[in-house]
């Protein structure tokens, strides 16, 4: 049913259908009497739909805010996990480097110690050779002095 407002003044009875009230014989315009409850019902229906949509939108906004909070919490958690993993990897890598460098330093010190030990052994060998040569030279000198002393002694007799 399509309802149209009359653009005629209210006092004008030209073409609007009317009915008479059987009790009081009051003339009632059909358009006003039929349109008012329909308009009120339609208005109420639209207001309910609008309120429901507003409520749905508010609920969606609340859900979105909650999801955003959850995403932010998950992101923070993920960032913390990544930071912990990076710190653990960094610690492990540092320990590995320290271990490697310590091993290299120990190896270098051991090599240097071996080198110095060999050098010391060589110097000891050279010293022993010189001591032996010195002992031979002293022996030879002692024999020479003794021979000279023996030579000078018989001529004094």
On the question of pLDDT at 4 being above 50, the answer is no
Please state the domain extents for the chain: 31-145
pLDDT, tens digit, 9 for 90 and up, residues 26-47: 887 767 666 678 778 889 999 9
Q: Which residues are CB-contacts of 33 (< 8 A; sequence separation ≥ 6)?
A: 19
Cα angle value 133/134/140 (rounded, 5°):
90
Q: Name the residue with higher pLDDT: 22 or 68.
A: 68
Q: Name the residue with higher pLDDT: 1 or 117.
A: 117
pLDDT, tens digit, 9 for 90 and up, residues 55-97: 999 999 999 999 999 999 999 999 999 999 999 999 999 999 9
Its pTM stands at 0.44
Q: Is the Cβ–Cβ distance between 8 and 43 less than 8 Å?
A: no
Q: Which helix (H) or strand (E) holds 27?
A: strand 27-29
């Amino acid at each position: 049913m399509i309802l149209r407002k009359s653009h005629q003044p209210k006092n004008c009875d030209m073409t609007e259908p009317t009915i008479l009230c059987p009790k009081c014989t009051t003339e009632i315009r059909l358009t006003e009497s039929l349109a008012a409850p329909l308009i009120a019902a339609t208005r109420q229906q639209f207001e309910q739909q609008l309120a429901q949509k507003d409520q749905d939108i508010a609920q969606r906004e609340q859900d979105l805010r909650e999801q955003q909070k959850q995403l932010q919490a998950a992101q923070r958690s993920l960032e913390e996990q990544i930071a912990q993993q990076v710190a653990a990897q960094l610690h492990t890598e540092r320990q590995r480097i320290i271990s490697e460098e310590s091993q290299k330093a120990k190896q270098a010190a051991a090599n240097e110690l071996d080198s110095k030990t060999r050098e010391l052994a060589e110097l000891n060998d050279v010293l022993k050779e010189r001591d032996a040569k010195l002992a031979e030279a002293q022996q030879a000198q002692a024999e020479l002095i003794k021979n000279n002393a023996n030579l000078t002694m018989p001529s004094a007799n």
